[in-house]
Structure 1
């Protein structure tokens, strides 16, 4: 399993996406509106930034994790995923 799609970029969906990305999976974070996707990505960024500030994570690791996540409104991006998680 390499690629995971999380449907829903809210609190639960962004948390699930972050957990998979931390483990090194390629993650597609999908929602119905760009603003929802951006909000979810911002939540993940803030969460990881807190870990960096506390000295629990290096900035380079944060950037690596964020690079594992792609936000989209295109449901077709889920087609080649190995796992799809519904969190809407």
Structure 2
């Protein structure tokens, strides 16, 4: 599953990203080339839904894993899995 979204971390203005591996508890965020997320608290939108809060950690040079502060509703995950 790949979904477009937007994020805001403590160090930057809103930026576009790709959301991968979306589940109720976590996901992977891939910012636009040339942009980096700051590890720590992050707010983001999945498509037009949100904001959702979580904690981002470096996964590799180009992506971050995010653990949601509150689990996502199963219907949200299912919606993007189908779409």
TM-score (norm 1): 0.25
Structure 1 or 2: larger strand share? 2
Structure (1 or 2) with the larger CA radius of gyration = 1
Q: Which has the higher contact order (CA 8 A, sep 6+)?
A: 1
Q: Name the structure with the higher helix share.
A: 1
